[in-house]
Structure 1
Amino acid sequence: MKRRLILPILVSLMFSPMAKAQQTGEWNGKRCAVVLTYDDALDVHLDNVIPALDSLGLKGTFYVVGNAPALNDRLPEWREAAREGHELGNHSLNHPCDGQLEGRSWVSAENDLSRYSVARAVNEIKVMNTLLKAIDGKTERSFAFPCGDKMIDTVAFYDFLKDDFAGARGVVPALQTINQVNLDDIRAYPIIGHSAEYMIDLVKQAEESGSLLVFLFHGVGGGHDLNVSLEAHRALIRYLHDNECDIWVAPMVDVAGYIRRQTSESE
């Protein structure tokens, strides 16, 4: 009789959320990893995003541009964000994009990546690392390609920067298992007016497939043409918080470092 009672209990425990996390805990003991990234160092990141993340104990990566007004005007707040565990990632000094591509008429001649030399692009990114170190005191961080552009003519400029970063985030969306991630071009989902349901469904897909999911935000509740509503963003991070037993939410520098260690150990 006792054995009949024990068996259903054991089955229930085996399929509980915590047991699933332990069985498929490839991501720091969790079922999947989610990285919240925010581009361009906007006022709304300080006003809307960081307080919301901090209220739930979540940490994100903020890809900072050196010439961003909100960086110069609010430097102590960015320093405080770094002290609280958020990553200040490198998004270049001047955010150059390839003005020769379709739909890039807005790119100025001064910030046209197609007019850069490789040396200039590399040097500006290295200078940005120095600036960020002066702000947060850290020597390890990740990079995000401005506009997702990786080439100057036929040269991949990041090839000269691989030793300077834990990893580099791109703009092409995909869910990837730990062995599929290319740390030189980490996939990410740009969020532009998407609903909470869409974003939460992506998280559920990542949980089911044991994948890395990276969100790419610009404006949150305004501040940029590429925007997501405060309500949708709030619902997403609430879901992440409420399911933290299954989901590892961490800055990109931490997740990229973890991937590098795990994959090197398995080789």
Structure 2
Amino acid sequence: MTLKKTLTFLFCLVSVSVFAQDWNKKKCAVVLTYDDALNVHLDKVVPALDSLKLKGTFYLTAAAGPFTKRLPEWKKVAANKHELANHTLFHPCDGSQPGRSFVTADYDLATYSVRRITDEIKMTNAALEALDGKKERTFAYPCGDTKVAGVSYVDGIKGELVAARGVQGVYVQNKPTTDLYNVGSFMINGQTGDELIAMVKKAMETNSMIVFLFHGVGGEHSLNVSLEAHRKLLQFLKKNEKDIWTTTFIEAAKHMKTTASAKK
């Protein structure tokens, strides 16, 4: 082998090594998130994850009935290393936006104050800490809204949270410039198992992280995916775990912070 070919070979090896380091020595990262504290998450999703020893992130609305009425079960979910994450106390959204007829006057971000939403997020953190004993927490913006009466509340909550999930459908790169307080995710509604798997394969090809945003799984929400499609995705993740890092949102965010510091 000539010197030039040897150097090219070594360069490729180093590039692959660095490439693989981005996601815990895997080709990509997958984060499974589930919003709104639904009964189906406890009844269907958690058993499905546990059967394959996969972990999920549950963005919980603390005033929701399936949360307040099933606290011991959510405590068990946390004890099994799933992430209990903050999705506010009452799930307020901006009713001034198009298609928001479901927003009630009492919980309309268009008439909130930054103090009110911040206090509700802090209260939800306290409720979750009572279950899992943890002080570090991540957050998901209800309806993807980051403003209160037209004013951003993002800076006001950074001190309370490790990271936050948005709703823009993008594959996330592990770069120091990635905004960890508005990480993109793909909202799932009606996709087949093959379509979900194809999304993961794209993350593998691009050395990216994909964050799935689920609501209903087998029902209970207008945004829904079938149990079969969800199961097929989980089985693919398990089968390919040598190449895919399936992790919680908080662990992914911490990893990105660590690697970002190392790259500086």
What are the within-5 Å matches in structure 2 for residues 229-244 of structure 1? 229-244=226-241
Amino acid at match of 2:140: A
Shift of 1:196: 0.9
Shift of 1:164: 1.4
Contact 1:25 1:32 in 2 (8 A): no
What is the rounded CA distance, in whole Å, between the counterparts of 1:188 and 1:224 in structure 2?
18
> Where does residue 204 of structure 2 map in the other structure?
207
What are the within-5 Å matches in structure 2 for residues 98-247 of structure 1? 98-179=94-175, 181-247=178-244
Give secondary structure in 2 for the equivalent of 1:94: coil
Contact 1:240 1:249 in 2 (8 A): yes
Contact 1:21 1:246 in 2 (8 A): no
Give secondary structure in 2 for the equivalent of 1:184: coil
TM normalised by structure 1 equals 0.91
TM normalised by structure 2 equals 0.92
Give secondary structure in 1 for the equivalent of 2:194: helix
Residues 153-176 of structure 1 show CA distances to partners (whole Å, capped at 9, x for unaligned) of 332112111121111001110112
Identity over the aligned pairs, expressed in percent?
48
Give secondary structure in 2 for the equivalent of 1:163: helix
Aligned length: 251
> Where does residue 43 of structure 1 map in the other structure?
39
Work out whether 1:262 is the aligned partner of 2:264: no
What is the rounded CA distance, in whole Å, between the counterparts of 2:56 and 2:178 in structure 1?
19
What is the rounded CA distance, in whole Å, between the counterparts of 2:40 and 2:212 in structure 1?
17
What is the rounded CA distance, in whole Å, between the counterparts of 1:257 and 1:166 in structure 2?
8
Give secondary structure in 2 for the equivalent of 1:106: coil
Amino acid at match of 1:96: P
Shift of 1:70: 0.6
> Where does residue 11 of structure 1 map in the other structure?
none
Shift of 1:247: 0.5
Q: CA RMSD in A?
A: 1.7
Residues 101-146 of structure 1 show CA distances to partners (whole Å, capped at 9, x for unaligned) of 0110110000101110110011110111011101111111210000
Shift of 1:151: 0.8
What is the rounded CA distance, in whole Å, between the counterparts of 2:185 and 2:151 in structure 1?
23
Residues 26-84 of structure 1 show CA distances to partners (whole Å, capped at 9, x for unaligned) of 20111100000000000000000000000001000000001110111111110000000
Contact 1:58 1:249 in 2 (8 A): yes
**Residues 154-163 or 167-176, more deviating:** 154-163
Amino acid at match of 1:100: S
1:53 to 49, 52, 75: 49
What is the rounded CA distance, in whole Å, between the counterparts of 1:236 and 1:257 in structure 2?
25
> Where does residue 250 of structure 2 map in the other structure?
253
Give secondary structure in 2 for the equivalent of 1:63: strand
Alignment gaps of 5+ in structure 2: 1-11
Alignment gaps of 5+ in structure 1: 1-13
What is the rounded CA distance, in whole Å, between the counterparts of 2:220 and 2:37 in structure 1?
10
What is the rounded CA distance, in whole Å, between the counterparts of 1:21 and 1:48 in structure 2?
38
What is the rounded CA distance, in whole Å, between the counterparts of 1:218 and 1:64 in structure 2?
11
Amino acid at match of 2:66: A
